């Protein structure tokens, strides 16, 4: 199958930091379908040779083992081309059309790796130039709007030119092998399904913790905040995968229908419940990854009195028969104590204990990163001579070790899926809009709240109020258990 992959924003950060290295890995693994061409388009006046040289220099920043040798780069670069393009000029799209028509690939992927403010222009121009035929797919990068209305506006434009089946909305968390494992765990194994319900589970925690600060993204981040940056998309996508009903088939719409139902079942927020069930924080100076780190307000290009949150913890419920009354706690933040993403399923305690001592209930820890694995926490008798208390132990499964050679990164997987037309790991517009609908009352209540976000020191697990939020239900975050 021949393909042409066009990167709008061809000289942008996303293209050289993530997309090109991911494509190179796919090429190196022999996964890129034969006969592909990769085209960078952007305003800069370059030709194929200059673009390849520019890219080669950028590849020096790619981490060690993933960096190509000169010989590997030269082979990869043969696929790479460049077309200087002014995105507002119809004649430039006609030139793109002529380039594509040179050989009429089976599949054309238009990857919009630009700011969302350009989506409307690009889609409209592609439509006007007739570059939206049935073999064309459009990939959209986040942020897909900053609230429901702006997300709907983007979706309207995309829909006026492409069908839903042609639109691939990226949430890169869905491309992570660990996240696909969540589906495998739940729907490839019969073991957990009978336990996966309110009768057996006391609460579920989803934590996406980072040790990095906002770095060079101060301006973007202070307009965005952790709720929009991580909760509306990544954390909610994970929640849907934990809470969804088994889909009847492994196909995109069967899966996305079930995920949508979860989003629609989330307990809606009101002004009052936002005050009770959410905590927002902002980091102050402290420890960042073992080094002294500045506070958010001192970061470059952050407005002096910014009230943007760099931490969110919240409590919600999925209001259906399976989950009624089970708290789902979501938490994310920058400059936290560890870089760690995990889902913790806390089971209910044994109904009647015959053993001495306090016996912590079982839990299943789904580790998403940095390790990709599973821990099942159990109690066991140590087998000593005297009658003794039970000891906690856990079964520890490391998928990176188990499947060492076959693992591919998130962007590599998603790019290959976009080329192959597999929509399973992409977000449908109704899911995305429903997620905005749910977070919007939080955005509004925080906007109208006179209190600034709660300060926390860099290198900690966020404001104490986040622990209190969970403690109110008699629960504790994983690292406090």
Interface positions with ligand BG6 (CB under 6 A): 210, 229
**Omega into 370 within 30° of 0, i.e. cis?**
yes
Q: What backbone torsions phi and psi does residue 421 show, to the nearest 5 degrees?
A: 80, 25
How far apart are CB 230 and ligand BG6 at their closest, in Å? 6
Burial of 454 (0-12, 13-18, 19+ CB in 10 A): middle
Put residue 35 in one of left, alpha, beta given phi > 0 → left and psi -120 to 50 → alpha: left
Of residues 52 and 334, the one with the C-beta less far from ligand BG6: 334
State the DSSP H helix or E strand holding residue 84, giving kind and residue range, or none if neither.
strand 80-84
How far apart are CB 332 and ligand BG6 at their closest, in Å? 9
Cα 471–chain centre separation: 28
Of residues 4 and 141, the one with the C-beta less far from ligand BG6: 141
Alpha-carbon distance 201 to 203, whole Å? 6
How far apart are CB 210 and ligand BG6 at their closest, in Å? 6
Of residues 4 and 210, the one with the C-beta less far from ligand BG6: 210
Of residues 156 and 339, the one with the C-beta less far from ligand BG6: 339
How far apart are CB 314 and ligand BG6 at their closest, in Å? 18
Q: What backbone torsions phi and psi does residue 341 show, to the nearest 5 degrees?
A: -120, 125
Of residues 229 and 375, the one with the C-beta less far from ligand BG6: 229
How far apart are CB 229 and ligand BG6 at their closest, in Å? 5
Of residues 107 and 239, the one with the C-beta less far from ligand BG6: 239
Q: List the catalytic residue out of 29, 81, 172, 234.
A: 234
In contact, 196 and 337? CB cutoff 8 Å: no
**Omega into 143 within 30° of 0, i.e. cis?**
yes
Range 229-245 burial, b when 16+ CB lie within 10 A, else e: bbbbbbbbbbbbbbbbe
Residue number, nearest CB to ligand BG6: 229
Q: Is 234 a catalytic residue?
A: yes
Of residues 256 and 342, the one with the C-beta less far from ligand BG6: 342
Strand segments (E) across 116-257: 136-140, 167-169, 201-209
What contacts 161, CB < 8 A, 6 or more positions away? 123, 124, 126, 127, 132, 138
How far apart are CB 297 and ligand BG6 at their closest, in Å? 18
What contacts 329, CB < 8 A, 6 or more positions away? 203, 204, 205, 206, 313, 314, 315, 469, 470, 475, 477
Alpha-carbon distance 225 to 280, whole Å? 10
**So which residues are the catalytic ones?**
234
């Amino acid at each position: 199958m021949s393909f042409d992959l066009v990167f709008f924003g061809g000289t942008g950060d996303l293209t050289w930091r993530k997309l090109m290295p991911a494509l190179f890995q796919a090429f190196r693994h022999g996964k890129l379908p034969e006969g592909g061409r990769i085209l960078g388009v952007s305003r800069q006046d370059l030709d194929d040779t200059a673009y390849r040289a520019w890219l080669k220099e950028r590849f020096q920043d790619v981490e060690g083992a993933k960096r190509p040798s000169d010989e590997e780069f030269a082979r990869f670069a043969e696929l790479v081309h460049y077309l200087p393009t002014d995105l507002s000029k119809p004649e430039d799209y006609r030139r793109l059309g002529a380039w594509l028509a040179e050989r009429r690939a089976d599949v054309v992927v238009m990857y919009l790796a630009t700011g969302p403010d350009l989506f409307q222009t690009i889609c409209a121009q592609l439509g006007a130039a007739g570059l939206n035929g049935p073999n064309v797919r459009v990939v959209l990068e986040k942020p897909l709007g900053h609230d429901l209305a702006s997300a709907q506006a983007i979706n309207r434009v995309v829909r006026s030119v492409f069908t839903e089946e042609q639109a691939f909305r990226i949430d890169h968390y869905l491309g992570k092998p660990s996240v696909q494992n969540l589906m495998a765990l739940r729907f490839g194994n019969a073991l957990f399904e009978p336990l996966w319900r309110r009768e057996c589970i006391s609460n579920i925690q989803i934590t996406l913790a980072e040790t990095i600060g906002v770095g060079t993204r101060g301006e973007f981040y202070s307009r965005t905040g952790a709720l929009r940056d991580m909760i509306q998309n990544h954390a909610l996508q994970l929640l849907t995968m934990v809470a969804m009903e088994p889909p009847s088939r492994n196909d995109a719409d069967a899966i996305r229908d079930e995920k949508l139902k979860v989003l629609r079942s989330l307990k809606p927020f009101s002004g009052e419940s936002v005050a009770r069930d959410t905590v927002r924080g902002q980091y102050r100076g402290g420890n960042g990854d073992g080094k002294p780190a500045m506070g958010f307000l001192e970061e470059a290009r952050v407005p002096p009195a910014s009230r943007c949150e760099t931490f969110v913890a919240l409590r919600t419920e999925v209001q259906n028969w399976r989950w009624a009354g089970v708290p789902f706690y979501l938490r994310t933040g920058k400059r936290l104590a560890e870089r760690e993403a995990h889902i913790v399923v806390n089971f209910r305690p044994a109904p009647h204990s015959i053993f001495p001592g306090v016996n912590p209930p079982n839990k299943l820890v789904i580790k998403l990163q940095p390790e990709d694995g599973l821990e099942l926490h159990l109690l066991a008798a140590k087998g000593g001579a005297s009658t003794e208390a039970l000891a906690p132990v856990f079964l520890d499964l490391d998928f990176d070790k188990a499947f060492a050679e076959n693992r591919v990164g998130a962007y590599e997987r998603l790019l290959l899926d976009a080329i192959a037309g597999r929509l399973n790991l992409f977000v449908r517009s109704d899911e995305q809009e429903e997620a905005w609908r749910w977070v919007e009352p939080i955005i509004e209540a925080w906007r109208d709240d006179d209190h600034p976000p709660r300060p926390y020191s860099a290198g900690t697990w966020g404001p104490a109020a986040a622990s209190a939020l969970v403690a109110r239900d008699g629960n504790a975050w994983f690292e406090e258990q």
